[in-house]
A and B are shown apart, each in its own frame.
Chain A
Amino acid sequence: MRRVSKVAVVAVTGALALTATACGSKPKDESKSTPSASQGAGGGGGTAAKVKACMVTDTGGIDDRSFNASAWNGLQQAQKQLGAEVKYVTSKSENDYVPNLDSLAKENCTVIVAVGGLMADATTQAAKANPNQKYVIVDSTSVGDNIKGLQYNTAQGGFLGGYLAAAQTQTGKVATFGGKKIPPVTIYMDGFVEGVKYYNQQKGKNVQVLGWDEAKQDGSMAEKFDSPADGERIANDFIAQGADVIHPVAGQTGLGAASAASKSNGKASILWVDVDGYESASNYKSVMLSTVTKAISDSVFQSVKETSEGKYSTTPYLGTLQNNGTGLAPYHDFDSKVSAETKNEINQLKQDIISGKIQITSPAQPKS
């Protein structure tokens, strides 16, 4: 009987370890290969070389309603408009990056899209091993001879979001939290904090930001991009402390924050991230103040398009307010609650950031 309990303990720890690392390193073949529409009809040859665009997701998965989802959107757009064949494989953990990239390299993809700056090392490695394969990486600069980097200075969009949040708060407290402490996440939070600070300077107010200290680069991190329960807890804590606008930068984890806000009896609202939350997380549209956007899907689509036209280049792309690579989504249901004054000020801010009149200091900003 004592042995039994030992077996049980070993098994439990083993199982915990398994879930913690999300099971080993085999490539997760949840890939969904979608043949292009033109394939069925195409009996005779002679059409232009067809593009096959493949993608490796980060751990949030394809339906994070955030950055993986928008990259996949870009590919689906390519499927519709260019007749491209598209496919994705899911990374369940960081251990899956290399095997997933390897498995795609054997599949004759015209271009492989790696979603996430965390994958930069793995992609560099894969690109060296397959020098003739074209790669595109989201949230990283061009890190090799055959890798095109797509980057977004979302601190600019975040700045507008922070200003908006500061203008909308009733309690004088706003909050933000991240999925992991990595530059593509903290850049939003930096921008957000700077936007609030700028509002305070302009208006002589003292709106506080919970959850992120830009100077110390330290704050609330869920450490997971796929756990709404954690997001709900973090947001509950913020709301209980009096924050009424919350900016989650954490993929699916952020959905928990939206849920907490929707249960707050109308006290709290959400500033969503990456893609317009009013549409992508429509369950919670009633609490979506706005979204700090990041044009991943458009830039991914453009890269695939360039590749299909034989114009692939490794010149890095940098999304800014100027080229709509980042910005603020419409206010939707909150449109009537945001004053015309605030709207004008935000438009003016946007011009000032583009012209360089306002300088953003976030250390996470991509070097252009």
Chain B
Amino acid sequence: MTDERRPEPAENPDQEGGAHVSTVIAPEPEAPQAATGAAAKALERAALRRALVTGIGFIVIGLYALWAFGLGTESGVDAVFGMNVANNRGSEVSPLHVAARGTAIAMSVLCMVAGVLRIVLDKSRLARRLSVALFVVAFVVAFLCWAVAGKQMSFAGALQNTMLAATPLILGALAGVIGERSGVVNIAIEGQFLFGAFAAALTASVTGSLTAGLFAGAAAGGLVGLLLAVFAVRYLVEQVVLGVVINLLVSGITGFLYTQLLQPHSDRYNNPGVFENHKIPGLGDIPVIGPVLFDVNVIVYLMYALVIATHLGLFYTRWGLRARAVGEHPTAADTVGIKVNRTRYINVGLAGCIAGVGGAFLTIGTVGTFSKDMASGAGYIALAAVIFGRWRPFGAVAAALLFGFSKALATSLQPLHTAIPAEFLNMIPYVVTVFAVAGLVGKVSPPAAANKPYTKG
């Protein structure tokens, strides 16, 4: 299992916290591993091969971009990017005019430069990452210049839509990270979304209080999480199968209650309203980014806090250390007195609450009404974000944002009548997800004891 590990040391904040039990914890998946002798040579060869394949891939795609986007764009036209969001309350920002052809060509060349850098600077982890980032950004910009040439696209609107799509995904992915770090695979995120969305809409409608709805959504998600925990931990059911079954169960229950209760009396039971946006003074006035990030509703702010709290919690507190111990090596954790199964119950329940908040965002955070099966697969995308983000909160955020951005882009490009058929544009987010998880991430290892029930003795 350690055969292909990269030799360079990883940045690794994980082992700094929680003093007294740290010695029994299995190393983090990305932890440093010094290989020696023949093994080291084999590793180096593999790394070199990977660098060559990726780098040449970048160059080839760059050439394609040069041909399709650079030379394929009419010269002398501008691509116009609008910089105002839909519910703009601040000052209007004038749209950005970009010479389409020139920029597309420059960006295509940058794609190729990124490929060269990827090969030349293979030794440095930071340079590797930067070259990938450079490639992605340059490619997207080249593509946009080609697609928008002679037309206008609202860039700020696309960013806002990115947040709209990414917020529930981030919350769901956090739930996935906490669950898997503790050794329970949380496929039930979809179900937690759905139940959270349902409970939030119903409670907020009945009580007239959106805050109550938010708490109800969290509680409902937590309930689904506990259900998962009981069957996974107590009855040792295969967690992947269990999660899918729970999702179908929740879909059935909410669907039934919806047709029986919410739909016939929608005024009374399915009319919760939505949280107002609150602008943070100062930060909210930053052009473009301000209204997108700091003029949002309370659930999004809560999401920011939860991301940071989860990161700090997992890697710098006793709770996180124990959670990871239970997820990596439960037997060892047990011998030093950590209650493995109790830890898993608590963490999976907690994770469910976070996913439930994500569900609440779907109703009282955006649209305002519940509709049947409204999560429509977001839970599974959140799970993909967990893997793409390498079981780290910030990684999951990046993955969710990437997915959200591709979704927003698909929406924005549709009205521009590009050469790409609308059906294909709508596929982009899923294609990106598959490529991201399969290709860009490389080899990742989940927590060692994920999906392994723990029984004493």
Give A residues with C-beta under 8 Å from B: 1-2, 4-5, 7-9, 11-12, 14-16, 18-20, 22-23, 30, 32, 61-63, 175, 177, 181, 210-211, 213, 216, 218-221, 223-224, 226-230, 232-242, 252, 255-256, 259-260, 263-265, 267-268, 282-283
Contact in complex: A237, B415 (CB < 8 Å): yes
Closest to B262 in A: A63
From A30, A235, A252, A267, contact of B259 by CB (8 A): A30
Indicate the size class of the contact surface on chain B.
35 or more
Given contacts A219-B417, A223-B423, 6 further A-B contacts (CB under 8 A): A7-B240, A11-B244, A22-B373, A213-B417, A218-B417, A229-B376
Contact in complex: A15, B154 (CB < 8 Å): no
Among A226, A239, A240, residue most surrounded by chain B Cβ atoms (within 10 Å): A240
Shortest A178–chain B CB gap in Å is 10
Contact in complex: A226, B371 (CB < 8 Å): yes
From A61, A235, A240, A282, contact of B372 by CB (8 A): A61
Q: Contact mask B5-17 → A, CB, 8 Å, 1/0?
A: 0000000000000
Shortest B155–chain A CB gap in Å is 9
From A11, A213, A218, A234, contact of B411 by CB (8 A): A234
Contact in complex: A240, B263 (CB < 8 Å): no
Q: Report B-chain residues with C-beta under 8 Å of the C-beta of A11.
A: 187, 240-241, 243-244
Interface residues of B in 274-292 (CB under 8 A from A): 274, 277
Q: Report A-chain residues with C-beta under 8 Å of the C-beta of B372.
A: 61, 226
Shortest B68–chain A CB gap in Å is 20
Q: How far is the CA of A260 from the CA of B157 in the complex (A)?
A: 12
24 sampled A-B residue pairs with Cβ under 8 A: A1-B445, A2-B445, A9-B387, A11-B243, A22-B373, A213-B417, A221-B414, A221-B423, A226-B371, A226-B372, A228-B371, A232-B366, A237-B161, A237-B408, A237-B411, A240-B86, A241-B152, A252-B371, A255-B367, A256-B366, A260-B86, A263-B277, A265-B87, A282-B267
Contact in complex: B187, A12 (CB < 8 Å): yes
Q: How far is the CA of A8 from the CA of B176 in the complex (A)?
A: 13
Shortest B326–chain A CB gap in Å is 15
User: Which 10 A-B pairs have CB atoms at the shortest separation, nearest pair first?
Assistant: A240-B157, A240-B154, A239-B86, A228-B367, A220-B414, A11-B240, A19-B377, A236-B86, A240-B86, A233-B161
Q: How far is the CA of A268 from the CA of B157 in the complex (A)?
A: 15
Q: Report B-chain residues with C-beta under 8 Å of the C-beta of A211.
A: 414-415
| A259 in contact with B417 given A5-B446, A236-B157, A240-B157 (CB within 8 Å) | no
Q: Report B-chain residues with C-beta under 8 Å of the C-beta of A22.
A: 373
Shortest A121–chain B CB gap in Å is 20
Q: Report B-chain residues with C-beta under 8 Å of the C-beta of A223.
A: 422-423, 426
| A227 in contact with B411 given A7-B451, A241-B152, A265-B87 (CB within 8 Å) | no
Closest to B161 in A: A233
Contact in complex: B415, A220 (CB < 8 Å): yes
Shortest A157–chain B CB gap in Å is 23
Contact in complex: B415, A4 (CB < 8 Å): no
Interface residue B18 (Cβ < 8 Å from any Cβ of A):
no
Q: Contact mask B336-375 → A, CB, 8 Å, 1/0?
A: 0000000000000000000000000010001111011110
Shortest B256–chain A CB gap in Å is 8
Interface residue B229 (Cβ < 8 Å from any Cβ of A):
no
Interface residue B396 (Cβ < 8 Å from any Cβ of A):
no
From B165, B185, B374, B426, contact of A8 by CB (8 A): B185
Q: Report A-chain residues with C-beta under 8 Å of the C-beta of B248.
A: 23
| A20 in contact with B377 given A233-B407, A236-B86, A236-B160 (CB within 8 Å) | yes
Q: How far is the CA of A241 from the CA of B82 in the complex (A)?
A: 7
Contact in complex: A228, B157 (CB < 8 Å): no
Interface residues of B in 302-351 (CB under 8 A from A): none
Q: How far is the CA of A23 from the CA of B156 in the complex (A)?
A: 37
Q: Report B-chain residues with C-beta under 8 Å of the C-beta of A14.
A: 244
Closest to A227 in B: B376
Q: How far is the CA of A22 from the CA of B375 in the complex (A)?
A: 12
Q: Contact mask B52-94 → A, CB, 8 Å, 1/0?
A: 0000000000000000000000000000001011110100000
Q: How far is the CA of A4 from the CA of B238 in the complex (A)?
A: 10
Q: Report A-chain residues with C-beta under 8 Å of the C-beta of B244.
A: 11, 14-15, 18
Q: Report A-chain residues with C-beta under 8 Å of the C-beta of B153.
A: 241
Q: How far is the CA of A8 from the CA of B437 in the complex (A)?
A: 13
Q: How far is the CA of A7 from the CA of B446 in the complex (A)?
A: 12
| A228 in contact with B274 given A237-B161, A240-B86, A260-B86 (CB within 8 Å) | no
Q: How far is the CA of A229 from the CA of B446 in the complex (A)?
A: 31
Interface residue B1 (Cβ < 8 Å from any Cβ of A):
yes
Q: How far is the CA of A328 from the CA of B170 in the complex (A)?
A: 42
Q: How far is the CA of A356 from the CA of B274 in the complex (A)?
A: 46
Contact in complex: B451, A4 (CB < 8 Å): yes
Q: How far is the CA of A5 from the CA of B417 in the complex (A)?
A: 40
Shortest B206–chain A CB gap in Å is 15
Among A2, A22, A283, residue most surrounded by chain B Cβ atoms (within 10 Å): A283
Interface residue B384 (Cβ < 8 Å from any Cβ of A):
yes
Shortest A192–chain B CB gap in Å is 14
Q: Contact mask B372-400 → A, CB, 8 Å, 1/0?
A: 11101100100110010000000000000
Interface residue B158 (Cβ < 8 Å from any Cβ of A):
yes
From A7, A241, A259, A268, contact of B368 by CB (8 A): A259
Shortest B102–chain A CB gap in Å is 24
Contact in complex: A228, B87 (CB < 8 Å): no
Q: How far is the CA of A139 from the CA of B343 in the complex (A)?
A: 57
Interface residues of B in 209-259 (CB under 8 A from A): 240-241, 243-244, 247-248, 255-256, 259
Q: Report B-chain residues with C-beta under 8 Å of the C-beta of A181.
A: 422
From A1, A218, A235, A283, contact of B1 by CB (8 A): A1
Shortest A93–chain B CB gap in Å is 11
Q: Report A-chain residues with C-beta under 8 Å of the C-beta of B267.
A: 282
Contact in complex: A229, B412 (CB < 8 Å): no
Q: Report A-chain residues with C-beta under 8 Å of the C-beta of B110.
A: none
Shortest B421–chain A CB gap in Å is 8
Contact in complex: A16, B380 (CB < 8 Å): yes
Q: Report A-chain residues with C-beta under 8 Å of the C-beta of B368.
A: 259, 283
Contact in complex: A232, B164 (CB < 8 Å): yes
Closest to B375 in A: A19
Interface residues of B in 131-185 (CB under 8 A from A): 152-154, 156-158, 160-161, 164-165, 185
Shortest A293–chain B CB gap in Å is 20
Closest to A11 in B: B240
Closest to A223 in B: B426
From B152, B255, B366, B376, contact of A259 by CB (8 A): B366
From B164, B247, B274, contact of A15 by CB (8 A): B247
Q: How far is the CA of A219 from the CA of B411 in the complex (A)?
A: 11
Contact in complex: A237, B158 (CB < 8 Å): yes
Q: Report A-chain residues with C-beta under 8 Å of the C-beta of B369.
A: 228, 255, 283
Closest to B159 in A: A240
Q: How far is the CA of A228 from the CA of B376 in the complex (A)?
A: 11
Shortest A28–chain B CB gap in Å is 9
Shortest A249–chain B CB gap in Å is 14
